[in-house]
Amino acid sequence: MSWLSKLMPSGIRTDNTPSKKRSVPEGLWEKCSNCGSALYRPELEENLEVCPKCGHHMAIRARARLAALFDADSTTEIAARLGPTDLLKFKDQKKYSERIKIAQKNTGEYDALIAMRGLLKGRPLVASSFDFAFMGGSMGSVVGERFALAAETAAEIGAPYVCFSASGGARMQEGLFSLMQMAKTSAALGKLREAGQPYISVLTHPTTGGVSASFAMLGDINIAEPRALIGFAGPRVIEQTVREKLPEGFQRSEFLLEHGAIDQICDRRELRDRLADLLAMLRREPPAPEEYFGTDGIRGRVGQGPISADFVLRLGNALGRVLVAQRGQDGRRPIVVIGKDTRISGYMFEAALEAGLVAAGADVQLLGPMPTPAVAFLTRTLGVDAGIVISASHNPHYDNGIKFFSAQGEKLDDATELALEAALDVPFTTAVSEKLGKASRAREAVGRYIEFCKSSVPRAFDLRGVRLVLDCAHGATYQIAPLLFRELGAEVIGIGAEPNGVNINDGVGSTHIDNLAAKVRETRADLGIAFDGDGDRVLMADDRGNPVDGDDLVYILARAWQAEGRLRGPVVGTLMSNFGLEKALAELQIPFQRSNVGDRYVHQALVEGGGVLGGEASGHLLCLDRATTGDGIVSALQVLVALKQQGKSLREALQPLSKVPQKTVNVRLGDVSAKATVQAESVQAALIEAQQAVSGRGRAFLRPSGTEPVVRVTVEADDATLMQDTLDRLSAAVRTAAAA
């Protein structure tokens, strides 16, 4: 009988009826409409509203799209305050003038097209983007005028022009005035061509009617996003007219590309680089400078941009040369360890990195499938010069990425990263034969990491008699995690532990927690544990299948560590951590600090504040007295130790934590600065009033978007009515200030 079994009467163990679900904050998670994955909203925004699981392109607002295209702080809006008028006094179920006001209020825009001039990788560009949220992106006089002004501006300043279309077609409420925009925009493009400047049209979902029949299909190059619906009339209308069944996928991007109607299909996340390269080619300019490294290494679609075998070969060679130069003349070749997750493309990139490094004179130790935190640990403890992980974390199999670790198991410092980027501009180099590197398998890596994980828990700790469901997302933990938990004595029921190269994160793992919960109920397990594809996140499910998120796990650890005397410094969450967590910690007299959303910000706050425990709801947990980075396996072990020390089940340990309802709404501001709106005296007064209304019972705060004129208004309170009333008043104050 396990320690959990002794604590739980058989009636509880056998009752598989789910208990009341724990509160899930609104606006923090979003479900993909295509694959059903639960997506962490801050990460979805960072991914440009593209589902990292299935690649589905969700709707993205015009300003967010343009912000992702242009260089930061380089834009000027064109005809910002140009708004529509109801010359025809049109009325259907509502007056057109009323529809305009409603659309303007709901979107914060004057009309459906936003146009800007700015810089793309340091070179001038004019671009416009439709906002489908404004009356279906329909084209009226203002849309046509803004498009024409943008094209004329491009001709005047000698810059190319790019338009992102997403439209239902001409705006019927403007009648002939709307149809005339087709001629106006064509004439404007004629002026642009006379000026010798290229025009690229990017067709997104959906692009139909008069827009598809005019400038959307007139690009020197026509690009479409995946699976976008593009055509003049809808397929249903065409089928009724021709009385024939249309082919599968008719009017979708892929069908149009196959039949020559468009030139390319490009993932939204790759568009900035693709457009920069195409425009340089069309203008006969040198290629735009490459931007290789993001905040978390390099990541993207396999075979596109830098995620290609030839680039990764050069990348390995460049890193090898940098490390050889850093070692100087001490006579020892630098050593690099390489780990990967289970994506089929990992074999290709592993071989490419190995060849590039060895050619430069570096030795390579191949770790095979290995969680990202394990690679960080092994890099730090094996005495090597650098570590590399080939993984795209929770993304689908067709994405991959490269992440680097310094000899200390941390992110490369800025100097090394700059040296690496500079080395990429130098041709591939092969060292003389006697200075070539060698490659070998690191045979003891798995055992070494498992022993490290075991060392993070008390020597006498075991899981004998505990039945747990373990979901490894068909990813990097699929070998290590089941082996480790079985060695500790647990009865492991595995799911997501049969990778085939293309099923990583596919319906399993921490972003599909419902599968774990169902398996726990089905098998009457004590609890369930789910990791993501590269093993740096962990979520759980209790014995009744209730999901347990990162906020819950932070609470369990904070309470246990305080009793143990292990907790020091503040516990760090994020701006989106539930107020219930803050309140519960306050009752225990545990200081709590909030950082920006993202595990790197949590880590920074912990280091600066001398803390050891932090995390966010998505499952990134940091236990800095046990690991230098987020480690899903180590974090899960710490929770299990805490439960055993407290003598409680997972569900019982969470009973004192009462999460409160939380909701976030986006208030759109038109061309008004989000930061200026938040700082307005009336808004600050309303914020103070809102904070007083929920004082001691919740929080109210404002977050100006850095990419679009949006203020995110968040309120949480222990009473749903109080929360909604406070949210409505604060949102109204923001809208009023923006309109003033």
pLDDT tens digits for 511-546? 889 999 999 999 999 999 999 999 999 999 999 999
Q: At what angle do helices 372-381 and 445-455 cross, to 10 degrees?
A: 100
**Contact between residue 117 and residue 151 where contact means Cβ atoms under 8 Å apart:** no
Delimit the CATH 3.30.310.50 region(s) of the chain.
Answer: 662-739
In one-letter notation, the amino acid at residue 495 is: I
Q: What is the pLDDT of residue 188?
A: 96
Alpha-carbon dihedral sign for residues 570, 572, 578, 581 = negative
- 27-41, 173-187, 572-586: least confident range: 27-41
Say how far apart CA 249 and CA 228 lie, in whole Å. Answer: 10
- What CATH number was assigned to the domain covering residues 60-266? 3.90.226.10
pLDDT digits (tens, 9 = 90+) for 140-183: 999 999 999 999 999 999 999 999 999 999 999 999 999 999 99
Name the packing angle between helices 579-587 and 550-564 (round to 10°). 10
What digits encode the pLDDT tens for the residues 187-205?
A: 999 999 999 999 999 999 9
175 vs 323: CA distance, rounded Å? 67
Are 409 and 387 contacting, i.e. CB atoms less than 8 angstroms apart?
yes
For helices 550-564 and 632-646, the axis angle rounded to 10 degrees is 50
Q: Angle, to 10 degrees, between the axis of helix 632-646 and the axis of helix 445-455?
A: 30
Average pLDDT over residues 338-361: 97
**Helical segments of 8-95, H only:** 10-14, 41-46, 62-69
pLDDT at residue number 1: 45
- The answer to whether 725 and 708 are in contact (CB under 8 A) is no
pLDDT of 225 > 60? The answer is yes
Say which residue the tokens 């774990």 belong to.
Answer: 516
Alpha carbon distance 50, 269 (integer Å): 8
Q: Kindly report the CATH number that applies to the domain delimited by 1-24+459-659.
A: 3.40.120.10
The dihedral through the CA atoms of 183, 185, 186, 191 has a sign that is positive
C-alpha closest to that of 627 among 412, 413, 373: 373
pLDDT, residue 658, reads 92
pLDDT tens, residue by residue, 437-480 = 999 999 899 999 999 999 999 999 999 999 999 999 999 999 99
Sheet holding 547-548, edge to edge: 491-495, 467-471, 527-531, 538-541, 547-548
pLDDT in tens, 396-416: 899 999 999 999 988 887 788
pLDDT at 14 over 70: no
* End-to-end Cα separation, the chain, in angstroms: 68
**Among this protein's residues, is 129 annotated catalytic?**
no
Q: What percent of the chain has pLDDT over 90?
A: 73
Q: Cα(413)–Cα(405) distance, rounded to whole angstroms?
A: 9
Residue 22's pLDDT band, with cuts at 50, 70 and 90, is low
Instruction: State the amino acid at position 385 in one-letter form.
Output: D
Question: Quick check: 10 pLDDT over 50?
Answer: no
Residue 320 dihedral angles phi and psi, to the nearest 5°: -60, -45
| Biggest distance spanned by C-alpha atoms of the chain | 84
CB 671 within 8 A of CB 77: yes
Pick from 376, 407, 408, 398: which is nearest to 389 by CA?
376
Q: What's residue 707's pLDDT?
A: 61
- Identify the CA nearest to 526 among candidates 644, 361, 676, 417: 644
Q: Which of the four pLDDT bands, split at 50, 70 and 90, describes residue 246?
A: confident
| Cα 65–chain centre separation | 15
Name the CATH topology of 298-443. Alpha-D-Glucose-1,6-Bisphosphate; Chain A, domain 3 (3.40.120)
- Which residues are bridge partners to 113 per DSSP? 130
pLDDT band at 18 (very low <50, low <70, confident <90, very high): very low
pLDDT of residue 119: 95
- CA geometry: angle 332, 338, 343, nearest 5 deg: 165
Which pLDDT does position 666 carry in this prediction? 83
| 165-176 pLDDT per residue, tens | 999 999 999 999
Percent of the chain at pLDDT > 70 equals 94
pLDDT score of 26: 63
Cβ atoms of 199 and 222 closer than 8 Å: no
The closest of 430, 382, 477, 726 to 579, measured between CA atoms, is 726
Mean residue pLDDT across the chain: 91
Residue range 682-710: average pLDDT?
A: 89
Fold adopted by 662-739:
TATA-Binding Protein (3.30.310)
201-218 exposure pattern, b = at least 16 Cβ within 10 A, e = fewer: bbbbbbbbbbbbbbbbbb
Tell me which DSSP letter residue 173 carries.
Answer: G
pLDDT tens-digit readout, 644-664: 999 999 999 999 999 999 888
Write the DSSP assignment of 420-483 as a string of letters.
HHHHHTSPP----GGG---EEE-TTHHHHHHHHHHHTS-TT---TT-EEEEE-TTSTTTTHHHH
**pLDDT at residue number 536:** 93
- Res. 686: pLDDT tops 90: yes
d(CA 737, CA 740): 5
With the CA atoms of 61, 62, 65 and 67 taken in that order, what torsion angle do they form, in degrees rounded to the nearest 10? -110
Residues of the chain with CATH 3.40.120.10: 1-24+459-659, 298-443
* Single-letter amino acid, residue 301: R
Backbone angles phi and psi of 166, in degrees to 5? -155, 95
- Of 141, 178, 393, 731, which is the active-site residue? 393
Question: Which band of pLDDT confidence, cut at 50, 70 and 90, is reported for residue 7?
Answer: very low
Within the chain, which residue ranges are assigned CATH 3.90.226.10? 60-266
254: confidence class by pLDDT, cuts 50, 70, 90: very high
Q: Tell me the pLDDT band of 353, cut-offs 50, 70 and 90.
A: very high
228: pLDDT strictly greater than 90: yes
Is the pLDDT at 691 greater than 70, yes or no? yes
What is the mean predicted confidence (pLDDT) over 615-620?
93
Range scoring the smallest mean pLDDT among 15-19, 319-323, 619-623: 15-19
Chain-centroid distance of CA 500 in Å reads 24
Amino acid 304: pLDDT = 81
